[in-house]
Chains A and B, each alone.
Chain A
Amino acid sequence: MMEEPLYPIAVLIDELKNDDIQLRLNSIRRLSTIARALGEERTRKELIPFLSENNDDDDEVLLAMAEELGLFIPYVGGVEHAHVLLPPLETLCTVEETCVRDKAVESLCRIGSQMKESDLVDHFIPLVKRLAAGEWFTARVSACGLFHIAYPSAPDALKSELRAIYRQLCQDDMPMVRRSAASNLGKFAATVEPSYLKTDVMTMFEDLTQDDQDSVRLLAVEGCAALGKLLEPQDCVAHVLPVIVNFSQVCKSLFVSAPYTVQDKSWRVRYMVANQLYELCEAVGPEPTRADLVPAYVRLLRDNEAEVRIAAAGKVTKFSRILSPELAIQHILPCVKDLSSDSSQHVRSALASVIMGMAPVLGKDATIEQLLPIFLSLLKDEFPDVRLNIISKLDQVNEVIGIDLLSQSLLPAIVELAEDRHWRVRLAIIEYIPLLASQLGVGFFDDKLGALCMQWLQDKVHSIRDAAANNVKRLAEEFGPEWAMQHIVPQVLEMMNNPHYLYRMTILNAVSLLAPVLGSEITCSKLLPVVITASKDRVPNIRFNVAKVLQSIAPIVDQTVTEKTIRPCLAELSEDPDVDVRFFAIQALQSIDNAMVS
């Protein structure tokens, strides 16, 4: 039997092989403890080989193991022994579960980036080569993610071998491997010397962009911006740009298809191009942007697939920012106009969420003349999401044209959303009320929106009432306690007389939220009496919520008030016939006592 202090650690070690997965998982999570108990040498000689054999465990355990091993260098005796960690991670790189492999690759990269150059050549690079030649695709998939660590420290001969291997992986039989090669190409390319970048890496990129599998081309396109930034602008224009521009075109008819151009029929590839295009602008510089990318982008904005238009519309602002105002007004704005009346509500919604950002780009005149009509039409959109997206970005447009111009159309839109029959829409608009209040100012708010805020406190749906209570608090923060005393507190407290206990509960919630904002004085004079009265409520749910509220109010108010008013009330509740009321009352009393002691 173990001596007493070793007992827990011994159990931990034994449980590495327990039948219960939770216990195994627990042990793996404490692997560093086990390692320290065994010492560095035995960790290297026993624990690590032991873990290497432990590769048929459940995925959860393997995932945890992959993660722990990434942080294990200190426990095996520092960087000079880091290579002993490679074998177990190599096995984990070959398992079928993607998340385990990804984690193992991540850990290998972490270890590899700390290893000495000679160790990398002796241990890490052979590992990458083994994985890349693995019999199962899983190993080859993992290999792709390790090249950017292995490559920089390799001697020249080995470097060209590694490039050749990567090229091979880009042409693997398995689409999974090609996908991995495509998504890791950018990282690898960043480590490759510029001279090989133009030759070797670009050939790989071109191979991948012509792959049979849509999913491979998709990932190749996704990485094109990263690749473009590595290249000199003129190379980027020569190699990356044509590929992307051609991807952006829809193959309308085979009659017009010029030979030897790649035109992608897949909307998913165009979707990806639409998402990536603005990043490429930075890489190629202004002139090619104007000549090639703007027309390409306009094509995407007018694509016949709604999904592509959604992606393109979502980038309108980012793209416009790169362009000069004239170009944006000339080319992009007409498309934006069309999109604002697009047949797909999702396109309009995507446009509405970013269109506000165009205002600073276009300047005041163009905004009022061209953009404002679009705002207004979107604000009247039949689809609530579109209206919500416009309202959520109101501050941006306010900066440019001021709220006066908008407020006329704004109010009907807000009121309509506030009374929308879908509660999720109502919930969304409540979130924006404090923002609106700050933009519109006290006067406007008092007139138009105050009543709505009170109305939400009595909504049928709990989530709305909850949000409304929070909203009241945020308004009080925005406009200050004095304003709140006048415009919120009386109305809110009035609702405490509602016959339905659920509404009374909402008010209690609002009170507990308001108290810290309004300060001790108002709390004592206005809020506390109402809460104390509620402690006599016939519904137990109200009473135990009173106990909770009192607990939260106690730290705010004066100690004398606590002693005089709160404590007696809680004492009474602690003898309530209902068990829950007693529980919360006692809890509140204890918390008050603790606060006093400290």
Chain B
Amino acid sequence: MNGGGGGGEVSGVGAPSATPLDWKFSQVFGERAAGEEVQEVDIISAIEFDKSGDHLATGDRGGRVVLFERTDTKDHGTSRRDLERTDHPVSRHPEFCYKTEFQSHEPEVTLVNSYGDYMVVLLLVYEADAFSQTYICCIDDESGSLFSVQFDYLKSLEIEEKINKIRWCQTANGALFLLSTNDKTIKFWKVQKKKVKKIGEMNMDTTKVAGNGSIASSSCSKPHLANGGFTDKLSSSLNDDLLFPPGGIPSLHLPVVTSNEISHLARCRRVYAHAHDYHINSISNNSDGETFISADDLRINLWNLEISSQSFNIVDVKPQNMEDLTEVITSAEFHPSHCNTLAYSSSKGSIRLIDLRQSALCDSHAKMFEEQEAPASRSFFTEIIASISDIKFARDGRYILSRDYMTLKVDCLIRLVMGRQYGFKPCCNLSGPRAFKTQGETLRLDVYNLPDFTCQLRLVGKTIDYCSHDLGFAKCALLFQLCDLYENDSIFDKFECCLSGDGQRVATGSYSNLFRVFGCAPGSSEATTLEASKNPMRRQVPTPSRPSRSLSSMTRVIRRGSESPGVDSNGNSFDFTTKLLHLAWHPSENSIACAAANSLYMYYA
């Protein structure tokens, strides 16, 4: 599998991917001392490696973005990566150091788009009457008349500064570019090294006057600009060619700049705002390098990176009547190499694949994959736990990984050769779920070498469906546990998932700061549980040998109350207050970065 030239050292062709990886602790940033309170704003809410794997970004609830830089490879950024590989032994594992941080988003209060029936054109907000009521100016768009209405706090919206997602963009000239988003606003950041300038040898040597060379220029020029005399004089002299002798004026000289220090400077290049009525849950770059999408609960918009003033709505699932709403968008991602394909997941557990080429508005998806649950196993929680919290394409774009509350699935994109659509086909529908789960067979259909093959997605399929047990739940006590989880809102936690660069392994987080790594290569039964701590293997449990059974059969067999909630089948108790929601896999090496509250842990194998 070609991981963009980076897959070589992971588990190469020779190395059997079935061998479970031996995970070791690598680094921790922001480790908590014993008894130290976690500040809400410090909790990490997004993690993302860049394409090369040389940089890592984290976002937190306080709206900050922190960048880390790989240190075990020398001369990063200046020399090409393949050169680095020959220079350094493979035995090194990625090590990162803090690079810089910046405040990406600030909390704000905004008015919702429509204020009652009127379009709010916030011309002025004023506190007018004796009861210190606030009024805002509105325009009735139909008649065009302007009037003021009393400000209603309920119709305003507090926007958290929390960073929901970070995505890296194309690096250029050694500067790093990334997109960060909170609930409403996406920002495009450029982080570059900037020389700290020190200016010497000015024409206007006013050190004697000002006593400080560095501010001399502004201090001597400002009075001239302020009274306008300076510019007038200059423009008059400009028109007079005779002012300057042909050889120039020797006494004038250019400022000499000396710089020795280098600092990192983050500049917000563009702000993409006012396009989402609901909370943005994902952003994703297109492989064309010029566009990206942003998805909220009901809509997906397409942007050009260079144009922040307009976006195009490509998916709109908002029903005419909001009472008819049964499904929301939970996550969306572009295909890593096909610029016209994107996938989005829904709260009902379906993943839809859409083809941007088909139509300007892609409400009618190309293909939908939805797993039908047997009616007998339905319960109050069925729909809630079916909601997909995250989807990720494998780097080669042939597989898609999805995480719902209980399971992690790898699906293959199958090109239906004889049909004109392509999309997901759950393998279990093709050959029965049990056969698949236990044997981990690979499904292989023939690829017809069609002339337009490049525009199409390949097939080849394989599904791994991990039983819920593997995610850290005691299935036997599932229903009781779900009640508890519902009570304390944990059931709505959105766990992320990630794939290794070679697509051979997947990982996702769980409670008690645990995360699990599974092998998804044919025949692999790898399933490792790790804890986000300096001793990751502390909680390691043996891989269950029995074949997994479906949820319904388990609940029937196990009698109520036989095990206490919060304890899994291995007797480990779970702490629902510590959850590992965010994690990311290094694009080319077996290295995982994961967030436990405010701490960033890194592991390698």
Contacts and interface: CB of A to CB of B under 8 A. Distances in A.
B173 A96 contact: yes
Contacts of A462: 144
Given A8-B224, A20-B218, A2 B248 contact: no
25 contacts: A2-B203, A5-B237, A5-B243, A13-B252, A14-B203, A17-B257, A18-B218, A36-B244, A37-B248, A38-B248, A39-B244, A39-B249, A50-B254, A95-B173, A175-B290, A214-B339, A252-B420, A259-B450, A264-B357, A265-B357, A267-B357, A267-B358, A267-B359, A267-B360, A422-B142
B233 interface: yes
A372 interface: no
Interface of A: 1-2, 5-6, 8-20, 23, 30, 33, 36-43, 46-47, 50, 53, 56, 94-98, 135-138, 174-176, 179, 210, 212-215, 251-254, 257, 259-269, 305-307, 421-423, 460-464
Interface stretch (B19-27, B192-200, B576-584): B192-200
Interface stretch (B93-101, B125-133, B451-459, B588-596): B451-459
B27 to A, nearest CB: 30
A131 B356 CA distance: 34
B544 interface: no
Given A2-B251, A33-B234, A179-B290, 13 more contacts: A5-B243, A20-B218, A23-B218, A30-B234, A39-B245, A97-B269, A175-B290, A212-B339, A214-B357, A254-B450, A263-B452, A461-B143, A464-B144
Given A19-B218, A174-B289, A11 B204 contact: yes
Given A30-B234, A96-B172, A137-B172, A11 B249 contact: no
A268 B252 contact: no
A41 B145 contact: no
Interface-central residue, A5, A41, A42, A463, by most chain B CB under 10 Å: A42
Contacts of B313: none
Contacts of A307: 360
B237 A8 contact: yes
B144 A461 contact: yes
Given A1-B205, A8-B234, A96-B175, A176 B451 contact: no
Given A96-B190, A136-B173, A12 B202 contact: no
A41 B257 CA distance: 21
B339 A15 contact: no
B152 interface: no
A136 B418 CA distance: 42
A214 B340 contact: yes
B75 to A, nearest CB: 13
Interface residues of B, number: 72
B447 interface: no
Contacts of B202: 14
Nearest to A423: B144
A16 B306 contact: no
B551 interface: no
Interface string B278-304: 000000000111110000000000000
Nearest to A212: B454
A253 B417 CA distance: 11
Contacts of B561: none
B199 A17 contact: yes
A175 B143 contact: no
A67 B172 CA distance: 22
A11 B254 contact: no
Interface string B133-165: 000000000111100000000000000000000
Nearest to A42: B248
Contacts of B547: none
A17 B257 CA distance: 8
Contacts of A259: 450-451
Nearest to A36: B244
Contacts of B218: 18-20, 23
Contact of A215 (B190, B194, B339): B339
A544 B243 CA distance: 48
Interface of B: 80, 142-145, 170-173, 175, 177, 190, 192, 194-195, 197, 199, 202-205, 216-218, 220-221, 224-225, 230, 233-234, 237-238, 241, 243-249, 251-255, 257, 269, 287-291, 306, 337-340, 355-360, 418-420, 450-452, 454-455
A83 B230 CA distance: 34
Nearest to B340: A214
Given A96-B173, A460-B145, A463-B144, A38 B252 contact: yes
Across chains A and B, which 5 residue pairs bring their CB atoms closest together, nearest first? A39-B248, A266-B357, A461-B144, A10-B203, A96-B172
Contacts of A39: 244-249
B113 to A, nearest CB: 19
Interface-central residue, B199, B205, B234, by most chain A CB under 10 Å: B234
Given A9-B234, A96-B172, A215 B247 contact: no
A2 B247 contact: no
Given A267-B360, A421-B142, A215 B221 contact: no
Contacts of B306: 98
Nearest to A210: B454
Nearest to A260: B451
A176 B285 CA distance: 14
Nearest to B80: A135
B121 to A, nearest CB: 14
Contacts of B455: 212, 265
A8 B233 contact: yes
Contacts of A1: 204-205
B309 to A, nearest CB: 14
A262 to B, nearest CB: 7
Contacts of B359: 267, 305
Contacts of A33: 234, 238
A421 B143 CA distance: 7
A91 B455 CA distance: 37
Contact of B173 (A2, A138, A210, A269): A138
A9 B254 CA distance: 11
A213 B172 contact: no
Contact of A16 (B145, B254, B337): B254
Contacts of B338: 212
A408 to B, nearest CB: 30
A176 B290 contact: yes
Contacts of B237: 5, 8-9
A385 B360 CA distance: 21
A18 B339 contact: no
Contacts of B194: 56
Contacts of B358: 265, 267, 305
A12 B234 contact: yes
Nearest to B291: A215
B217 A17 contact: yes
A40 B80 CA distance: 41
B165 to A, nearest CB: 22
Contacts of B257: 17, 53
A213 B454 CA distance: 10
Nearest to A426: B144
Contact of A306 (B230, B241, B360, B450): B360
A94 B174 CA distance: 11
A96 B357 CA distance: 29
A459 to B, nearest CB: 9
A260 to B, nearest CB: 5
B159 to A, nearest CB: 28
B173 A6 contact: no
Contact of A13 (B171, B203, B225, B454): B203
B144 to A, nearest CB: 4
